[in-house]
Each structure stands twice: as structure tokens, then as C-alpha cells.
Structure 1
Amino acid sequence: MTSQQLLLEGVELMLFGMGLVFTFLVLLIFCIRMMAFILERIAPEESHGATAVAAPVKPGNVQPIDADTLQAIQIAIKQHRASRG
């Protein structure tokens, strides 16, 4: 085999491999979109408003936290930080 034949076989193999990967990715995208379409038909979301960002709290509208709740929050934060590291 000459170097020219080896080079042509290498290019042919490269194009075959790239075509195969491209075909696989297109098929993967198609399958994902079809699954999303089917799932949307089977179980549609109730409302898109549930995922909306909550409105900011106005400073005059804040209720104070009682001492027991504040202490429970502080203990939970300490336990979480201790368990992390």
C-alpha cells in the first residue's frame, strides 16, 4: 500500500466516523423531543405560574420570627455546616 492509499483510507474512515456520530446525535435529539412531546400530552403541567419568581418582600410587611423558630433555624444551619466539612 502506498502512502496515498493509506491517506485516502484514513480520510474515508474519518468521514464515516463523523457521519455516524452526526447521525447518532440527530437521532438522539429527535428521540428527546419526541419524549418531551409525549410526556407533555400525557401529563401536562398544571400552570406555569407556579415556577414564577416570588415578589420581593416589602420591609414594612415583614413579620418577626419568634425565638424558638430562630433557634431551630440556627441549630439546623450549624448541623449542616458541621456535616459538610
Structure 2
Amino acid sequence: MTSQQLLLEGVELMFFGMGLVFLFLILLIFSIRVMSFVLERWAPEAGHVATAVAASTQHESAQVVDPDTLQAMQIAIKQHRARRG
């Protein structure tokens, strides 16, 4: 084989490899769009989930904290601030 034939074969392999990568990326984009469509159609809306989480957070914050637990939390916060500063 001459150097010219080797060079042409190398260019041919390069285009073949670039074509495969391009085909893979197109397939990847297509599959991501299909999954996005499926999730938007059948998954619950984010607004309903956020409302449920906010409601449960408000319910939990309304509970009374044990005095011993409150004191332990205050001591831990003071120790953390003393180490930081």
C-alpha cells in the first residue's frame, strides 16, 4: 500500500467514525425527547407535589418540641457558631 492509499483509508475511517457518533447523538436526543414527552404526560404535575410538601412541612412545624431537645439544639448551634467564627 502506498502512503496515499493509507491516507485515504484513514480519512474514510474518520468519516465513518464521525458518522457513527453523529448517529448516536441524534438517537440520544430523540430518546430524551420521547422520555420527556412520556413523563410530562403521565407524571404528576410539580405544582401538586410542591403543595403537598409545603402542607406537610407546615404540619410538622406546628408540633411542640420537647424542652430537652430544644436545649440540645441550642447548645449544638452555639458550638457550631463558636467553631466557625
Structure-1-length-normalised TM-score: 0.58
Count, aligned residues: 62
- 3-state SS of the aligned residue for 2:45? coil
Counterpart of 2:17, as a letter, is G
Query: Which stretches in structure 2 are left out of the alignment for 5+ residues?
Result: 51-64, 81-85
User: Which segments of structure 1 move beyond 2 Å, counting only runs of 4 or more?
Assistant: 65-70, 72-75
Residue 38 of structure 1 aligns with which residue? Answer: 38
More helix by share: 2
The answer to whether residue 41 in structure 2 is matched with residue 69 in structure 1 is no
Query: Which stretches in structure 1 are left out of the alignment for 5+ residues?
Result: 51-64, 79-85
- Shift of the 70–26 alpha-carbon distance from structure 1 to 2, 3 Å rule, reads farther
- Post-superposition CA distance 1:1-49 (Å, at most 9, x none): 1000000000000110011011101101110111011011011314189
Structure-2-length-normalised TM-score: 0.58
State the percentage of identical aligned residues.
65
